[in-house]
Each structure stands twice: as structure tokens, then as C-alpha cells.
Amino acid sequence: MKQVLTENFTAEAAIAPHRICKPGSADGTVVQAAAAANLAIGVSDSLGADAAGDRVDIHTIGVVEVELGGAVARGAQITADANGKGVTAAAGNRTAGISRVSGVAGDIVLMLLAPGTV
């Protein structure tokens, strides 16, 4: 059984399911991450948010599902691409977590949330 801490935020824009998210412009808000330099605070749940102002559940601690934007090897550190999808992090990137399995673009894989910097 996975144990995950999920927190509820207000979306500042539409957020797709299973996407890496970053803090919004105000306390209690989030947006979909759009670059490897973004500070990741979690991953959206399987519903996401349809529009700005919607409430959205963000997984902030635990092993979560994230959609990949490219090939990722098991054990690789993951960062966000321009669409908030997980890709392999490079030196200097902010990270969202560590991949528990290998996958390719479009796969939804398990990731241990571990925000940081490579």
C-alpha cells in the first residue's frame, strides 16, 4: 500500500493529471511546472484541474504517479519539461523526485517525491 500526503490548492490555470506542479503567485495556489528550473512542490492527482480557480489535489509526500515526457531510467532523478511531464534531470536542474521504474514518453510511472537540485 502506498502512503501519500495529498494537499488541496487553488489552480491558477488548467493542470493536467499526473503533472509536476510548482507554487503559484500567491499562497495556497499552484500551477503546472513548465521548466527544469521550476521548484517542484508535488504532482497533480488523476483528475487535475480544468481551469483557473478550480480546486486541485496535489500529492506532496510519498510515491506518486507522474506522466513522462521522455525516456527515464529506474533510479533517475526527474525534473519537469515544458508541459509538467517528468524527464531525466541534468546538472543544475531542480528535481521533483526519483523514478521507481523505467519508462518512455507517455508512460505513467511511480516516482518517489524528493524535491531538490541536481
Predicted confidence (pLDDT) per residue in 44-56, tens digit: 999 999 999 999 9
**Rounded to an integer, what distance in angstroms lies between the CA atom of residue 102 and that of residue 31?**
26
Predicted confidence (pLDDT) per residue in 95-111, tens digit: 999 999 999 999 999 99
pLDDT in the model for residue 3: 84
pTM of the model: 0.96
Predicted confidence (pLDDT) per residue in 1-32, tens digit: 578 999 999 999 999 999 999 999 999 999 99
Question: Residues 68-75: what's their mean pLDDT?
Answer: 98
* 26, 55, 84, 118 from 18: Cα distances, Å: 22, 15, 9, 22
**Rounded to an integer, what distance in angstroms lies between the CA atom of residue 70 and that of residue 9?**
27
User: Of 69, 71, 96, whose CA–CA distance to 85 is shortest?
Assistant: 69
